[in-house]
Amino acid sequence: MKKFLLVFFLTFTAAFTPIAAKVAVKAISPLSLAFIRFGVATLLLLLVFRIKKSSFRIDRKDYRTFLFLGFLVIPLNQFCFLEGVNLSAASHSGIMYACTPLLIYLLSVKLKNEIFSLRKLLTISLTIVGIAVIFYENVTAVNTAGTGMLAGDVLLFFAVASWAVYLAFSNSMVAKYGALKTQTISFLIGIIMFIPVFLFDVKNLSFESVDGYVILSYLHLTLLVAFGSYFLYSYSTKIIKTSTLTTLTNMSPVITILFSWLLLKENLSYFFIIGAAITMAGVFFTQRIKDEPTGKTGKENLRLNET
């Protein structure tokens, strides 16, 4: 029962993240929302860091790595994610983020943390076809619907890519310093980098349209995702196999699509449904293929969405 409840919670947390983001950015400027969201999450991580009496000391040779991780996880990822979901649709975000493990696999092969598999490459190609179908619809609709949806999908793709690069490159730091220290320092560097962006955007910050739904969405994005899911996912990997957990939580994009249609009244076109089905099939078949042992850092740091 404990495992079931844990998987259920993590799946629905991931599924409702794009929906919560879509609700929140309609009331709060995306750039300001990113700062307020991760500012609070960073403070909470620092509190836990303080309670555990951890040290900020890192080797000088790792300074550049942490600067890179900090830039990826907040300034780049949050700009692309929140601006992207603002222009595009929550359902599109759910499908894009389903590709995170696949991008991490390609990066891991490049970094020689995993062995190349032709079977995996073929199934990954299937997901690319699915994403291409979704993009094709938006490209052909530019003349009638404008460039907003297409631009949003492009930003969401870069949000997924930046998140995947963050996870892939943070593996070595997690192995060396631990997950809490790595994430806390990365978040702290990232939120400091984001201060100029927030100061530039603060003129657009307004709470006039904030209601109960927006507050719930903000709490979901901040407490459950940016802060809470780290602890829950870290705990879950101790009692559930990572491969099993990732496969089970792949249901989250399907739930995102369903509730985006029910709650946000988003239009689910035939192109999107076909593209989403092809993408999910690629994700499913890829994770059915057994990983080859490499003797290097595994996928313990593969976490849920995002953002």
Q: How far is residue 278's CA from residue 135's CA, in Å, rounded to a whole number?
A: 13
pLDDT in tens, 143-158: 445 567 788 888 999 9
Amino acid 249: pLDDT: 62
CB-count exposure of residue 203 (10 Å: 0-12, 13-18, 19+): exposed
**Model-level pTM?**
0.81
Q: Are residues 25 and 33 in contact, defined by beta-carbon separation less than 8 angstroms? A: yes
Mean pLDDT calculated for residue range 1-8: 72
CA distance 217 to 35: 15
Mean pLDDT of 94-119: 74
Indicate if the pLDDT at residue 303 is higher than 50. no
Distance CA 233, CA 235 (A): 5
C-beta neighbour count of 190 within 10 angstroms: 25
Alpha helices in 52-178 (DSSP H): 63-71, 77-87, 90-97, 100-110, 118-140, 142-145, 148-177
Other Cβ atoms less than 10 A from the Cβ of 247: the count is 15
